[in-house]
Amino acid sequence: MQGVAQAGADGLLVTHLPNVYYLCGFTGSTGALLVESGRVTLFTDGRYAIQSREEVRHARVRVTRGSSLAAVGEYLRKGKKARMALDPAHLSVAEKSVLRRAAGRKMRWLARGGLVEELRAVKDAQEIVRMRSAARLGCIVFEEILPLVKPGVRELELAAEIEYRMRRRGAAGPAFDTIVASGTRAALPHARPTAKRLRKNELVVLDLGAILAHYCCDLTRTVYLGRAPARIRRWYQAVEEAKAAALEALRAGVAAGEVDAAARRVLRRSRLGQYFVHSTGHGLGLEVHEEPRLARGQRKLIRAGNVVTLEPGIYVEGVGGIRLEDDVAVFSDRNEVLTSAPRRFLEL
């Protein structure tokens, strides 16, 4: 990894599991990958002795007794390396202490955040293929459950149906807790599904994501049960236009914050700006929230190979909410919207 040398380090300790998977294929729940020039070593414990042997590519495996981080430290203490980089966002203060104690005082630890995330943000052709499949699965599930979205059904039941159908179609599971938020609960951007039953004349926000072959999709649609009042239709229209404006702004070379600004501008023009309480989107891949972040003031440039969500929304306390979300792959010359679920306002 070029970034490591540039960072002035002899190597990089990778502790964030999606990064470990990305670099060596290991899917266990405990492990640390030490990247040195010419040598990559996965440290994991006895539970993963067999599994790591089956999965790991491009790295040796050391099965440790007890803490893998302590083992990394002891290994480094015996070696000649003097400066190791690590990502401070993915190591707890307590883990750092274990590492420091085991490695000894001579080792200098350099805080270098996001090196692997930078690599992951740019998807290669094979990753795009997987993300297309994940997005397709999400959309199929959405269309499958639409007939079930009707008065009387509980939010929790719908969420269960959604996740069940994902898995039946091969997903490892949901990429995040499925959101089914109806009526005034739709005004909570991160509502958990409850035992509340859907009622006529309510908005229903459905936000779902599946993990297929390790890659995530993330899809939101908002529907109305019954015939919507004119105000709600206007809101829907405005959110859809905000998403379209973000898609228009999204291309390699622009600042991520510009994409956010494009969506925000549309909602502000419709006097809905104050109801848009989160950012416009985020990168998507092995994790459901990755680089780049499409948020206010983000100067990082969009690159070909980025896959992001576009998901403007408005949340009006006491009334409800509307969020619309698609997944989009950025290429050098065009965008590809990976999610094909219907975009028109569905009044069910």
> Which residues lie near a copy of itself (CB under 8 A)?
27-29, 46-51, 87-97, 111, 113, 156-157, 159-161, 163-164, 167-168, 170, 172-173, 177, 187-192, 195, 277-278, 315, 317
Coil/strand/helix, residue 20 = helix
Closest CB to a copy of itself among residues 85, 330? 85
Q: Give the list of residues 6+ apart from residue 164 with CB closer than 8 angstroms, or none.
A: none
Residue position matching structure tokens 């409800």: 320
Closest CB to a copy of itself among residues 130, 233? 130
Q: Nearest approach, Cβ of 188 to a copy of itself (angstroms)? A: 5
Q: Nearest approach, Cβ of 47 to a copy of itself (angstroms)? A: 5
Closest CB to a copy of itself among residues 94, 230? 94
Say if residue 32 is exposed, middle or buried (CB neighbours under 10 Å; 0-12, 13-18, 19+). buried
Q: Nearest approach, Cβ of 162 to a copy of itself (angstroms)? A: 10
Between β-strands 313-316 and 320-323, what pairing exists: parallel, antiparallel or unpaired? antiparallel
Q: Are 155 and 198 in contact (CB under 8 A)?
A: yes
Which DSSP symbol is given to 302?
P
Closest CB to a copy of itself among residues 184, 270? 184
Q: Are 71 and 43 in contact (CB under 8 A)?
A: yes
Between β-strands 290-294 and 219-224, what pairing exists: parallel, antiparallel or unpaired? unpaired
Closest CB to a copy of itself among residues 92, 201? 92
CA 73, 75, 80 angle in degrees (round to 5)? 100
Determine the Cα–Cα distance for residues 34 and 55; give it in Å rounded to an integer: 17
Per-residue b/e over 318-341, b at no fewer than 16 CB within 10 Å? Answer: ebbbbbbbbbbbbeeeebeebbeb
| Residues paired with 179 in a beta bridge | 207
The closest alpha carbon to 22, from 38, 42, 37, 39, belongs to 42
Q: Nearest approach, Cβ of 334 to a copy of itself (angstroms)? A: 32
Closest CB to a copy of itself among residues 174, 292? 174
Residue 210 parent element (H or E): strand 210-212
Residue position matching structure tokens 């401070």: 88
Determine the Cα–Cα distance for residues 128 and 179; give it in Å rounded to an integer: 25
Q: Nearest approach, Cβ of 89 to a copy of itself (angstroms)? A: 4
Q: Which amino acid is at 98?
A: V
Determine the Cα–Cα distance for residues 142 and 341; give it in Å rounded to an integer: 7
Tokens of 243: 């998403």
Q: Nearest approach, Cβ of 268 to a copy of itself (angstroms)? A: 16
Closest CB to a copy of itself among residues 49, 129? 49
Neighbours of 154 (CB within 10 A): 16
